[in-house]
Amino acid sequence: MSTWWSIYLLGLVLGVKHALDADHVLAVTAMAAETKSVRRSWQLGLRWGLGHTLALMTVGILLLAFRVTMPVVLALLFEYAVAAMLVWLGVNVLRTMRRERLHVHAHVHDHGVRHVHWHAHAGSPAHAHQHRSFLVGMLHGLAGSAALALLVMASAPTFGQGMLFAGVFGAGSILGMMAVSSALTVPFLLTQRFDRAHRAVQLSAGCLSIVMGGLLAAELTAKLLPFAF
Full-model pTM: 0.81
Residue 212 contacts residue 26 (beta carbons within 8 Å): yes
**Which runs of consecutive H residues, i.e. helices, occur in 158-194?**
159-190
Is the predicted pLDDT of residue 221 greater than 90, yes or no?
A: yes
Give the pLDDT score at 117.
47
Helices 132-142, 22-32: crossing angle, 10 deg rounding: 170
pLDDT (tens digit per residue) in 120-159:
454 443 344 568 899 999 999 888 656 767 777 777 788 8
pLDDT value, residue 205: 92
Of 68-72, 109-113, 220-224, the range with the lowest mean pLDDT is: 109-113
